[in-house]
Every structure is written in C-alpha cells, then in structure tokens.
Structure 1
Amino acid sequence: MQLLDCPVRNYAWGSRTALAELRGQPGPSPHPEAELWMGAHPADPSRLAGSGSTLLGQIAEDPVAALGQRVCERFDKRLPFLMKILAAEEPLSIQAHPSLQQAREGFERENHRGISLAARSRNYKDDNHKPELIVALTPFSAMAGFRDPASTVELLEQLGSERFVPYRDLLAAQPDGSGLRALFTTWITLPSSDVSELVDDLAESCVALLARSQRGRFAAVARNLLQLVERYPGDAGVLAAILLNHITLRPGEGIFLDAGNLHAYLHGVGVELMANSDNVLRGGLTPKHVDVPELLRVVDFEPLELAPVPLRNAEPGGTVEQVYQAPIDEFALSRIELDATGLLHSVSHGLSRGGPQIIACTRGEVIARGGEQEVRVPAGGALWIPDSDPEVILHAVTARDEVFRAVVPH
C-alpha cells in the first residue's frame, strides 16, 4: 500500500477554500480548486508518494498484482473506477454521460474524423461510460433527472408567466418522456434572443413566486433558478433547469446517476466515485462546447424519481462501514467511521481483501497497517491498496475519523 499524491483540477466553478481546508493547507488558494482526482485516469493519474511513478504506470507494469486476475479479465487490465473529492462554489454545467456503447461508438467516430483529444469540439475523451455516485460531505445542492412532468406543469402554472403558457401546454398535452424531449429540444434550439427574453421573464416570475411564499413547494426551485439566471443570463441551460429535480443532500447522503441522466451540481463538497471516464456531453450553464444533436442522442428523457441512495452495513450487525447500494459493476463505495476513544465507534476496522482499493480520508486521520507496513493517512489524503497486499486494518487517530473506500464489487 502507498499514499497517493493526487492532482488538483482547477476549474472556474471550484472553491478557493474547501479543498485547501480539507488538506490542511493555507487558503484561499491562488486559483479555484474544483476536483481532487484519486485514480489512474490517463488525463491526470495520481502519483505514488515518494516515487517518480504514477498509479497508471504501476498498474501497467504488473496488472495482476495491482488489480487481481478477476479485475484484469473483466476490465481489460485497467482500474475501472475514478474517485474524486469535488468542491463546487458555483454551478457546474448541465450535462449527461454516454452509455458504454455510445462511448465506444463516439470515441471511434471522432478518432476516425481525426479530431484531437485536446480539441474544444471533442465530445468523447475515452471509450468508457461514466455512471457516477456523489456523497455529500457538506450540504450539497444538485439538479438531476427529469422531474415528473405533472409537477413541472404545476411549477409553470405557479410561475404565472404568459410567455411560458405555450410551453406549459405542450408538456401538459404529453406528460411523459416524449413531451419532455419535445420541450427540452424546443428550448435548447431557440434563437439566443428568444432564450434571453424567456430567461429574463423567468427571473421576474421567480421573484413574484417567492414574494407570494418563501416556503411553498417550489420556493427552493425558484431560488435555485434565480441564482442560475444571475450567473448565466441568456443561457438555455437555465430553461432546461426548470425540468429537473432539485435536491439538497445532507452530509452522508448520496445520489447515483446512470448513463443519460441530465444533471448539474450546484454547491457543496462531496466524494464522487465513477467509472474511469471523462466523457461529458454539455447542455448549458457553460462557455464550453455544446453539441446539441449528440446531447439529444445521449440524454434519457424518462422522468426520474430522485432519492438518496440506500445504505447497508458491510457486515451483519456491523455499523462502522456502510455501503452505498448503487447498481453498477465498476465500483462500490462505502463510508467508514472510527473513534479513537471507542465511545461512539470502533477504534479499528479490517478491510476485506479482493481487488484494488482506494481509501480517502475526509475527516481526522487514520493509520493503515498491513503486514509489516504502517501508513498514516491524513484528511484529504488517499491510500492505494493493490490486490496483492495482505489484509489492511485501519486504526483511529482522532475521535471523529471518516474515510471513504472504493472497491470493485464481486
């Protein structure tokens, strides 16, 4: 096992304080820090602390020792997941991720056309899909999946805008996935002048709705929409946001997003685990490339009943490690709480063997012991455990230690 030196990705929507505070570094940082990558993605692999090699390179040198025979055969000698700590100070773009087949076809198609991987117009950076699970470390606001159309019709009625009546009627006449596709396509392909007028009108309608009631059913949605209008005036993504579920996760709660689920994270810090991919099709709230025809091929327009992912204990009768139940083959995520006093939680916890693991410490500090090795993992730090290692036991250092564990499920 080895500590990882994890790259920080700087995007405009990131925080200048959250990741610095987590890692015990001085803040504010010179640039917004958006994501801490823990894994072996070719675009930015983690490095093995104290050595000149990357995790990607170590896996390539001896994939069976790193991943185990089962994972090598199943995932073509590649680590199938990418772990991140994400810090959103401002909304991310509205986006969706392709299915595995769509990713393979799109990657091959763009390679055949000779589009550079670094090109702004490139949609597919790799040939993998990107289902993802996000778990909140702080209160975490997000939009994800299409709301039940009947509820969206009610929202449009409460907004009370004459400009939106034709769109409300369009969805009311076909309150299903086909109606959502028709309305979303209409909005995202409108001329920019029409989009600007609708977005301005939406802002006025949201202000009026909140003036009537600060605690109504759609009050939180109206506040979110006003924030989006302020940051992205004239952006069709603001209109798309009307159609999505709006949710705020409490710390420890998570949501799973499968291929095709349109979503945007709004604010907060969370642990994100996904298939090892960087494929993104954007639909707005961004100055980056938006490929409308490709986005429409990828998005799943069926309404999604969004709810936090259920948890189960990793062991019968145990409460130290809880697993987020996501229906995916590439990864499983669990949350482990340890307590050096032994009053609230166990002082130590053994990690079952079988396949590669990454451990991310999000609070306190833990000591990992395996065989003759002992490694201290501080908050904001990550530990790589290859398949060939002996059993690792985590030991608490403080009274409120928290780690997240990424594995490949059997």
Structure 2
Amino acid sequence: MRTLEGVVRPYAWGSRTAIASLRGRPVPSPHPEAELWFGAHPAGPAVCLRPDGEHDTDLLSAIDAAPVDMLGRRTIETFDGRLPFLMKVLAADEPLSLQAHPSLAQAREGFDRENAAGVPIDAPDRNYRDPWHKPELIVATTEFDALAGFRNPAITVELLRELQVSELDPYLGMLAGQPDSEGLRALFTTWLTLPDASIATLIPAVLAGAVSRLGSGNSSRFGAELRTVLELGEVYPRDPGVLASLLLNRIRLEPGEGLYLPAGNLHAYLRGIGIEIMANSDNVLRGGLTPKHIDVPELLRVLDFTPADVAEITAPIRTVGAERVYLTPAPEFRLSRVELDGTGLRYASSVCFDMPGPQILAVLHGSIDVRPMGGEATTIPAGRAIWIGDAEPDVVVHAGSSRAVFFRALVPAGPRG
C-alpha cells in the first residue's frame, strides 16, 4: 500500500477554495485549482509518500518498477501494461470547453495519422496524444451543472421558438423540418462553420431574446437553458459554442448523482465539484467555449448526434454493502462511493475489500484507517488517497473520524463492474 498525494492542475476555470480546502491548505489559493489527479498519467502521476510524509517516488514509476505486483497479470494483458483509469477531483467555478472524446478505433486511427504526418505529441494543434479512448464518469459531490448529450430535437424546436428571435428562423426551420439526428448534425455543423460576421449578428440577437424572455415575468420550462446561454455569451460573445449549447441537455446533478459520457457525447461541465474517473487518456476534441485548439472537421467526425434523454446518460447505482457502485459499460474503471460512521450508531464503521487488481481509495471527508490483513493500519486524511496493488492482501477500512467518505476506483471484473 502507498499513500498518494494528488497532483493539482491549475486551469483557469478552477476554484480557489474547493481543492485547497479539501487538502487543508490556506484559502483562497494563489491560483485557480481545477483538478486533483490521483493516477499514473504521464502528464501528472500522483506522488507516493513515505510513512514520514516525505515524497518517495511517483505512482507511474512505482508501477513501472513492479508491474505484476502493482497491476496484476490480467490488467497488464488487457491494457498493455498501463493503469487503465485516471481518478480526479474536479472543481469548476467557470464553464469548461465544449468537447467530446473519440472511440477506441477513432483514437488509434487518429493517433497513427498524426504520427505519420509528423505532428509532435506536445504540439498545441495535436488532437490525439495517445491511442486510447476516454469514456468518463462524473459523480457530483455538490450541486453540479452540466451540458451533456443532444436534447430531443422536438424540445429544442420549442426552445428556439420561445426565444422569438427572427434571426434564428432559418436555423429553426432546419431542425423543425428534420427533427432527428441528421437535422441536429446539419444545424450544429452550420452554426460551427458560420462566418464571423454572421456570428457577430446572431449571438447578440439570441442573447437579447433570452433577456427578453426571462424578463417577461412569465414562467418558462427553459429558464435554466436561457440563463446558461446568457452566462456563456457574456464570457464568449463571438463563440459559436454559445449557440451549440442550445442543442444540449441542461443538467443539474444533486450530490451523489452521476453522468456517464461515452465516446462521441458532446458535453461541457458548467459549475460544481465532483469526482471524475475516466480511461487513462488525454484525447479531447473541442468545439468551442475555449481559447484552446478547435478542429471542427475532426470533432464532427467523432460526434454522436443521436438524441439522448438525461435518464440515458445518468449512471445507475447499485448498493453493495457499504458501497454505492456507479454502473457503466467501461472496461477500464469502476467507481463507488463509501460512507462510514465512526460512531457505529447509524451505519457501518468498517468495510472489507478483497477484489483483485489495482485500487485507489480517495478520501473526501474525514479520514480512514486502512489495515491489510495481518499488518499495520495506515491513516488517510481528506484530500489524499491510498494505492492498493494487486499483490496486496485483503484490507479492512475503518472510519478514522465520526464520518468518513471516500471513493473507490478499480478495474472491474466484468463489463458492468
């Protein structure tokens, strides 16, 4: 077992309080802190700590030094010797980019294509930095707002009509005349490829329509969508991603709820704190709401325009003892939430884990004591995690405080964990 200190990623959309508070650091932090990585991704492997709290090595190096003991033969053979998942705490105070991730076949083809073209791996205009796909699951720990998946086109037609913006009429007609995935593809493609002069006219008209509708005093089923387009338009006044946001499901997750985003799902996280787990990849195709590289043709190649209801992308939950397991089809990861009661008065104060393969337990509240069978306990406070390798004995996890909450990530035994 190894105590892990996560690596902070200081992106501009991050929070100055959430991750610093979780780690027991001064608040506010000097810079926005967007993500806290617990994994073995080459761009930011977690740090392994010695018992005295000093840095030892990083998790990637530790795995490379003893891959069979750390990962197990099944994981090595299935995932080419890599830890197949990356676990993060994500803290968004501002919207992330509008983005999607490729399928495994698309990622391999794109990676090979860019290699053959001589595009450097670290080039800012590179789309595929590895040959892996990136399905992901986000579980809210606070209220969490997101855009995810194309909304039913018939409902989107209602939203566009409610704006009563004459400049939208040609585009409204495109979707009303073909309210299906092909209509969505045509409208989305048209908006993302509009000339700057058209964007400079259309977006202000849409924002004015949203202001008028919200200020009318009449209730609207699209209040959240209209407020979101106004917020995005204020930050990105000439970005066609503002228009694209009108086509997506506007979702609010309550704490404990999760979204599973497979390949091709267009999404943008807006605000909130959550635990994110994904396949261990860095492949992102962006469509807007960002100053970073945008490749519209490549994004269109990977997008799935099939409309999806919110229920279809909400991760179902199965309770297994003290665990709330989030069910997904991803073979790279399984995520569960565990809450322990140190007083023993309300629910379990300990849990035993005996599943083989690599595991990471990340503590979000309180502390836990992790004891291998026949060994000494290791205390893990909030903001840190513990690595349990395949060769480790079974462990018992006790609450180290009156209330302890942690998330458990592992490689599932089957297609749905």
Q: Do Structure 1 and Structure 2 share a fold, with TM-score over 0.5?
A: yes
2:401 counterpart residue number: 398
CA shift digits 1:149-190 (9 cap, x unpaired): 000000001011101111111001111111000000000000
CA distance in 2 between counterparts of 1:55 and 1:196 reads: 48
- Counterpart AA for 1:31: H
2:224 counterpart residue number: 220
Structure 2 residue 241 is matched with structure 1 residue 244:
no
1:58 counterpart residue number: 62
Secondary structure of 2:318 counterpart: strand
Q: Which moved more, 1:62-71 or 1:354-363?
A: 62-71
Unaligned runs of 5+ in 1: none
Structure 2 residue 412 is matched with structure 1 residue 409:
yes
Q: How does 1:94-105 map to 2 (within 5 A)?
A: 94-105=98-109
Q: How does 1:67-78 map to 2 (within 5 A)?
A: 67-78=71-82
Structure 2 residue 9 is matched with structure 1 residue 6:
no
CA shift digits 1:345-404 (9 cap, x unpaired): 211111122100011111111111113132111111111100100111111122221100
State which of 330, 333, 345 in structure 2 corresponds to 1:331: 333
State which of 84, 88, 106 in structure 1 corresponds to 2:88: 84
CA shift digits 1:94-147 (9 cap, x unpaired): 000000011111111111112112211011111110000000011000000000
- Counterpart AA for 1:40: A
Secondary structure of 1:111 counterpart: helix
Q: Which moved more, 1:140-149 or 1:15-24?
A: 15-24
Identical residues among aligned pairs (%):
57
CA distance in 1 between counterparts of 2:218 and 2:138 reads: 29
Secondary structure of 1:349 counterpart: strand
Q: 1:5: how far off?
A: 1.9
8 Å Cα contact 1:196/1:235 also seen in 2? no
2:365 counterpart residue number: 363
2:30 counterpart residue number: 30
Q: Which moved more, 1:261-270 or 1:390-399?
A: 390-399
1:116 counterpart residue number: 120
2:177 counterpart residue number: 173
Secondary structure of 2:241 counterpart: helix
Name the TM-score, length of structure 2 as normaliser.
Answer: 0.96
Secondary structure of 1:248 counterpart: strand
Q: Which moved more, 1:254-263 or 1:44-53?
A: 44-53
CA distance in 1 between counterparts of 2:381 and 2:283 reads: 31
- Counterpart AA for 2:362: A
CA distance in 2 between counterparts of 1:139 and 1:374 reads: 34
2:352 counterpart residue number: 350
Name the TM-score, length of structure 1 as normaliser.
Answer: 0.97
State which of 266, 282, 303 in structure 2 corresponds to 1:299: 303
Secondary structure of 1:242 counterpart: helix
Secondary structure of 1:223 counterpart: helix
State which of 310, 319, 333 in structure 2 corresponds to 1:313: 319
Secondary structure of 2:377 counterpart: strand
1:127 counterpart residue number: 131
Secondary structure of 2:188 counterpart: helix
CA distance in 1 between counterparts of 2:108 and 2:70 reads: 25
State which of 269, 273, 280 in structure 1 corresponds to 2:273: 269
1:40 counterpart residue number: 40
Q: 1:83: how far off?
A: 0.3
- Counterpart AA for 1:226: L
1:377 counterpart residue number: 380
8 Å Cα contact 1:310/1:325 also seen in 2? yes
- Counterpart AA for 1:125: R
- Counterpart AA for 2:411: V
CA distance in 1 between counterparts of 2:390 and 2:160 reads: 53
- Counterpart AA for 1:313: T
Give the RMSD, CA atoms, in angstroms.
Answer: 1.1
8 Å Cα contact 2:379/2:400 also seen in 1? no
Structure 2 residue 195 is matched with structure 1 residue 191:
yes
8 Å Cα contact 1:37/1:82 also seen in 2? yes
Q: 1:214: how far off?
A: 6.5
CA distance in 2 between counterparts of 1:346 and 1:187 reads: 53
CA distance in 1 between counterparts of 2:155 and 2:244 reads: 15
8 Å Cα contact 1:311/1:323 also seen in 2? yes
Q: Which moved more, 1:205-214 or 1:11-20?
A: 205-214
Q: Which moved more, 1:203-212 or 1:96-105?
A: 203-212
Q: 1:332: how far off?
A: 0.5
CA distance in 1 between counterparts of 2:316 and 2:155 reads: 24
Q: Which moved more, 1:280-289 or 1:105-114?
A: 105-114
- Counterpart AA for 2:162: Q
CA distance in 2 between counterparts of 1:175 and 1:232 reads: 28
CA distance in 1 between counterparts of 2:24 and 2:82 reads: 32
CA distance in 2 between counterparts of 1:54 and 1:105 reads: 31
Q: 1:303: how far off?
A: 0.4
8 Å Cα contact 2:137/2:260 also seen in 1? yes
CA distance in 2 between counterparts of 1:32 and 1:125 reads: 25
- Counterpart AA for 2:49: A
CA distance in 2 between counterparts of 1:11 and 1:211 reads: 34
Q: Which moved more, 1:153-162 or 1:41-50?
A: 41-50
- Counterpart AA for 1:353: M
CA distance in 1 between counterparts of 2:200 and 2:60 reads: 45
